[in-house]
Structure 1
Amino acid sequence: MKKTFMGVKLRKLRAERGMTQIALAQALELSPSYLNQLEQNQRPFTVSVLLKLSRALGVDIQQFSEDEEARLLAGLKEALADAAQPISLPEFQEVAGQMPGLARAVIDLYRRQHQLLERLETLSSQWGDDRSRPEPLVSQPFELVRDFFFAHQNHFDTLDRAAEKLAAQAQTSPVDRAAWLEQTLAQRGIQVQREAGAQGSKRSFDPLSRVLTLSSELAPAQQAFQMATQLALQAFSADIEALIQVPPFTHNEPARRLVRVGLANYFAGAFLLPYGEFLQAAETLRYDLELLGKRFQVGLETVCHRLSTMQRPGAPGVPFFFVRVDRAGNISKRQSATHFHFSRVGGTCPLWNVYEAFSRPGQILAQLARMPDGRRYLWVAHSITQGEAGYGSPRRTFSIGLGCDARHAHRLVYARGLDLQDPGAETPIGMGCKVCERPACPQRAFPYVGRALSVDENRGPSAPYGSWVEPEPRQG
Structure 2
Amino acid sequence: MKRKIFAGLAIRELREARGLTQLDLARRIGVSPSYMSQIEANQRSLSGTVIIELARVLRVDVSAFSSDDGVRLAATLREVLGDPTFGGLDMTQQELKNAALHAPKMARALVDLHRIYRRVEERYRSLDDALRASDGTVGSHQSAFEEVRDYFHFIGNYVDPLDRAAESLADRIGARSEDSLSRLSHHLETIHGISVSRHSTADGGGFVSTLDRARRTLLLNDSLPQATLAFAVARHLATLTLSDEIDAVVQAASFRGSDASAVCAATLANYFAGSLLMPYQQFAEEARRMQHDIERLATQFGVSIEQVCHRLSTLQRPGNEGIPIYFLRVDRAGNITKRHSATRLQFARYGGACPIWNIHEAFETPDRFLVQVAEMPDGDQYLSVAHAITKGGGRFDAARLRYAIGFGCELAYANEFVYSDVIDTRKSSAAVKIGVSCRLCDRSDCRQRATPPFDRRVTVDPDQRNIVPYQLG
TM-score for both structures, normalised by structure 1: 0.90
CA distance in structure 2 between the partners assigned to 1:133 and 1:240 by the alignment: 32
Q: Contact conserved, 1:440 with 1:463, CA < 8 A, in 2?
A: no
- Mapped pair 1:213 → 2:219: yes
Which shifted more, 49-58 or 259-268? 49-58
After TM superposition, where is structure 1 displaced by more than 6 Å over at least 4 residues in a row? 131-135
Aligned letter for 2:100? A
Aligned residues, how many? 463
For 1:61-80, list aligned pairs within 5 A: 61-62=62-63, 64-80=65-81
Shift of 1:152: 2.1
SS at 2:45's partner residue?
coil
1:25–1:296 distance in 2 versus 1, CA, 3 Å: same
For 1:95-174, list aligned pairs within 5 A: 95-123=99-127, 136=136, 137-140=138-141, 141-171=144-174, 174=177
Which shifted more, 394-403 or 98-107? 98-107
Q: Contact conserved, 1:229 with 1:267, CA < 8 A, in 2?
A: yes
Aligned letter for 2:225? A
CA distance in structure 2 between the partners assigned to 1:158 and 1:61 by the alignment: 19
Aligned residue for 1:195? Answer: 199
Aligned letter for 1:103? A
1:444–1:59 distance in 2 versus 1, CA, 3 Å: farther
State the Cα deviation string for residues 146-182 of structure 1 (Å, max 9, x = none).
1222222111122112111211111366233222222
For 1:213-252, list aligned pairs within 5 A: 213-249=219-255, 252=257
State the Cα deviation string for residues 289-345 of structure 1 (Å, max 9, x = none).
111112222221111111111112222111122111111011112233344322112
Q: Contact conserved, 2:363 with 2:404, CA < 8 A, in 1?
A: yes
Aligned residue for 1:86? Answer: 90
For structure 2, the residue ranges without an aligned partner over 5 or more in a row are none
CA distance in structure 2 between the partners assigned to 1:68 and 1:133 by the alignment: 37
For 1:8-47, list aligned pairs within 5 A: 10-11=11-12, 14=15, 19-47=20-48
SS at 1:457's partner residue?
coil
CA distance in structure 2 between the partners assigned to 1:105 and 1:62 by the alignment: 24
Aligned letter for 1:91? E
CA distance in structure 1 between the partners assigned to 2:267 and 2:249 by the alignment: 12
Shift of 1:31: 2.3
Which of residues 438, 443, 452 in structure 2 aligns to 1:447? 452
1:218–1:160 distance in 2 versus 1, CA, 3 Å: same
State the Cα deviation string for residues 225-270 of structure 1 (Å, max 9, x = none).
1111111110122222222222434x62222222222111111111
Q: Contact conserved, 2:63 with 2:318, CA < 8 A, in 1?
A: no
Q: Contact conserved, 1:346 with 1:435, CA < 8 A, in 2?
A: no
Q: Contact conserved, 2:167 with 2:280, CA < 8 A, in 1?
A: yes
1:241–1:292 distance in 2 versus 1, CA, 3 Å: same
Q: Contact conserved, 2:325 with 2:343, CA < 8 A, in 1?
A: yes
CA distance in structure 2 between the partners assigned to 1:446 and 1:15 by the alignment: 48
1:299–1:460 distance in 2 versus 1, CA, 3 Å: same
Aligned residue for 2:352? Answer: 347
SS at 2:449's partner residue?
coil
Shift of 1:414: 1.0
Aligned residue for 1:473? Answer: none
- Mapped pair 1:316 → 2:321: yes
TM-score for both structures, normalised by structure 2: 0.90
1:132–1:316 distance in 2 versus 1, CA, 3 Å: closer
Q: Contact conserved, 2:358 with 2:386, CA < 8 A, in 1?
A: yes
CA distance in structure 2 between the partners assigned to 1:389 and 1:257 by the alignment: 30
CA distance in structure 2 between the partners assigned to 1:8 and 1:347 by the alignment: 34
CA distance in structure 2 between the partners assigned to 1:66 and 1:394 by the alignment: 44
Which of residues 259, 264, 274 in structure 2 aligns to 1:254? 259
Which shifted more, 420-429 or 397-406? 420-429
CA distance in structure 1 between the partners assigned to 2:196 and 2:363 by the alignment: 37
Which shifted more, 39-48 or 163-172? 39-48
CA distance in structure 1 between the partners assigned to 2:224 and 2:394 by the alignment: 11
Aligned residue for 2:272? Answer: 267
Which shifted more, 168-177 or 149-158? 168-177
Aligned residue for 1:474? Answer: none
User: Percent of pairs identical after alignment?
Assistant: 40
CA distance in structure 1 between the partners assigned to 2:244 and 2:109 by the alignment: 31
Shift of 1:357: 0.5
Aligned residue for 2:368? Answer: 363
Aligned letter for 2:272? F
Q: Contact conserved, 1:126 with 1:135, CA < 8 A, in 2?
A: no
SS at 1:334's partner residue?
strand
CA distance in structure 1 between the partners assigned to 2:62 and 2:126 by the alignment: 42
Aligned letter for 1:35? M
Aligned letter for 1:163? A
Which shifted more, 313-322 or 21-30? 21-30
Aligned residue for 1:427? Answer: 432
Aligned residue for 2:179? Answer: 176
1:155–1:5 distance in 2 versus 1, CA, 3 Å: closer
